[in-house]
Structure 1
């Protein structure tokens, strides 16, 4: 489904109302140092992102996850499929006014940051 930069992504039709998404992380040996266990970190961050109202509808629900490597030797998870299409090349960037207040401390108040030389 995607260009496969961080994981392999598959649309799976289980015969229900909606298909689900299966995401499989690359083998540990194919992951860059900055990507080690990226899927696990993403999965762990969901409870902290979900309460942010403007982005809550854009966060898929995890239906199942396996980080043991016992079945296929890679991390994987099943998630709900969101409405819409794949992002790259499909969506225009959001105008700044539409994301105001989404993330507090987005840098606009940087004049109040303490200044330290070095």
Structure 2
């Protein structure tokens, strides 16, 4: 076993900061899979509110600087966890996956999660 004698200063390269998602961007409400997929694209700051249950059999690719928030009374979502720095907690997606591959600073809230 070899010990690392000197480690670079991680904090200088990666200062501590919280995840802010879409921050104070004007919220956009979506009700369909197509609206959801369109609303979460790109890296511009955005807050997306999920209204009701969205069904489908596709993947929604979530860009950076995104807050995806479910409204009360939503159902269950199943997705494969693929990225760090993602907060998750109760949304209504049936058969729809979420993927965060290239973006960071993403918040996903109000989600009951079951892993596929």
- TM-score, length-normalised on structure 2? 0.21
State the structure with more CA Rg: 1
Task: Select the structure that is richer in strand.
Answer: 2
- TM-score, length-normalised on structure 1? 0.21
